Amino acid sequence: MSTENDYLNESVEAEICTRGLDPATVRSQIETFRKGIKHQELARPCTLGDGIESVGDNLVTLSSLFDEYCQDKNVIKFVPASGAASRMFKELQTVLARGEVTKDELQAASDWGGKEEASALKFIESIKRFAFYSDLASSLESEGINIETLLREGRFKEIISHTLEKPGLNYSNLPKGIIKFHLYGNYPRTAFEEHLVEAAHYSAGEGGIARLHFTLSPEHEDEVKSLILRTKALYESEGMSIEVTYSVQKPSTDTIAVDMENRPFIESEGRVLFRPGGHGALIENLNDLECDMVFIKNIDNVVPDRIKEETYSYKKALGGYLIELEKRVFGLLRELDRGYEEKEVNDALSELSGMGLLIKLPEYLADATETEKAMYTRARLMSPIRVCGVVRNQGEPGGGPFWVRGLDGTLSKQIVESSQVDMGNPTQKAIWQSSTHFNPVDLVCSVRDYEGNAFDLTQYIDRDAGFISHKSSGGRELKALELPGLWNGAMAYWNTVFVEVPLITFNPVKTVFDLLRPEHQNP
């Protein structure tokens, strides 16, 4: 070992290198386990008029600006779609693991307060309302089983297991995007297909091409690509085509696991355990895209066609807002190239502040020279820009937009998760609980500088903003590290603007029962 507490011996370092990882990066990860993750210092929540902008009065103007911009620009929609659907069916899986699942058994357990059993009953009672019901009935029929007979005889275990496992739909082991979400007459549509429909309406750019990029798990690549290949033509129209590309989370973004003494976790066969780095690792995939503007939206946040129109309007408005913001930022950077005229610069910064982008000199630069002020302002402006659509907080679990105080005392707007907050501090907890808005529904990103050069997005990450969780492997406890979240620490040093969007644009499907909400049911 090269130094005290350096557990990376030659064999461990060799294994790290074969995975495409840098030993220095892994040492930094081990140091993070030792130090712990720093908490964000919340100053106050972002609220409408104080950190969150409104575009409701300018929807038409901003949408028109976006439509004009798209004609000769490369726009892409980026959809993290790697996650399996297992969490959607967690309660049903729990019931199956307990053994027999007859109607009487479920009812008795539910009457005694069994939450999972009550959920299983709700699933069965609502089975015909799910878009995948026809597929389920056909799959059972292929095994010589009639679903109506199962329902009548109370043989609910067979219905649930056939939904989640093989033989059957195997939904617990598929990506969420393949689950049938919505029904149109007799045709069920998956979340992947809903994203194709959306892209055709607001991400068609140069050459009439609507471009999408899905991140996938390697084991699901073939199945997803086959689905897209079969269905894509259904959603294209004359003069407009849909181009879909894919990527997987890079093994080089995996993080090392450690034991409870913060030493590399060695598995029984002698290999070091590495784990996927989480959602934030996808900043690498995003960085690889060649485009001018990126829309980012989660795979499960889609709605049926009947309520898509408002979604389209606000997507375009967010895009238009970003274009207007980008135009002003680029103009100021070109002005700085010509020289620093304090009045002109301050006027331009005031305009940006009026649009929600606050660039303020820190106190320690109050007496700085014009050159020093220009250098600071230029450095702050030379960052990727993101406009984040946020909705009113309705009690959903997750983070939200806050004003955060940095080490130099300056404030920035950040999306913060509860794990990043010191809940043992009453003041910080109170600020967290006073939040009015929820995590971003959509992000629209400008990823090129004013000279047309692509930003290296990996240079704008707060590397200290990850998350440490406790897991186990082979009966032994371990600690795992998730990289800074995609729109949390991974975009910490971007220029950020929050814009309020209506609640109808936020309809995530976290459990299978969310598909029973009116927003996901076609009349």
pLDDT of residue 12: 80
| Residue partners of 35: CB distance under 8 A and separation at least 6 | none
| Residue partners of 340: CB distance under 8 A and separation at least 6 | 370, 371, 373, 374
| Residue partners of 508: CB distance under 8 A and separation at least 6 | 298, 300, 301, 396, 514
Confidence of residue 4 (pLDDT cuts 50, 70, 90): very low
Structure confidence by residue, pLDDT tens digits, 429-482: 999 999 999 887 789 999 999 999 999 999 999 988 888 989 888 889 999 999
Contact 495, 471 (CB under 8 A): no
Q: Residue 123 — φ and ψ, nearest 5°?
A: -60, -45
Measured distance between the N- and C-terminal CA atoms of the chain, rounded to whole angstroms: 67
Structure confidence by residue, pLDDT tens digits, 159-216: 999 999 999 999 999 999 999 999 999 999 999 999 999 999 888 877 888 999 999 9
The gap from C-alpha 284 to its chain's centroid, in whole angstroms, comes to 14
Integer Cα distance of 519 and 503 in angstroms: 11
Q: What is the pTM of this model?
A: 0.92
pLDDT of residue 1: 37
DSSP 8-state class, residue 258: B
pLDDT of residue 8: 77
DSSP 8-state class, residue 501: -
Tokens coding 61 = 């103007």
Structure confidence by residue, pLDDT tens digits, 115-130: 999 999 999 999 999 9
Find residue 182's DSSP bridge partners.
189
Q: Identify the sign of the CA torsion 256, 259, 263, 265.
A: negative
Integer Cα distance of 515 and 182 in angstroms: 8
Structure confidence by residue, pLDDT tens digits, 368-415: 888 888 898 999 999 999 999 999 988 776 789 999 998 888 899 999
Q: At what angle do helices 156-164 and 90-97 cross, to 10 degrees?
A: 130
Half-sphere exposure of 315 (CA within 13 A, CB side): 28
At residue 442, what is the residue type? D
**Could you tell me if residue 113 is left (phi over 0), alpha (psi between -120 and 50 degrees) or otherwise beta?**
left
What stretches of 219-373 adopt beta strand conformation (E)? 241-248, 255-256, 274-275, 293-296
pLDDT of residue 6: 61
Tokens coding 133 = 């019901």
Q: What is the Cα Rg of the chain in Å? A: 25
pLDDT of residue 3: 44
| Residue partners of 67: CB distance under 8 A and separation at least 6 | 316
Percent over 90 (pLDDT), the chain? 64
Q: Residue 148 — φ and ψ, nearest 5°?
A: -65, -35
Structure confidence by residue, pLDDT tens digits, 228-243: 999 999 998 877 899 9
Confidence of residue 331 (pLDDT cuts 50, 70, 90): very high
Contact 291, 69 (CB under 8 A): no
At residue 487, what is the residue type? W
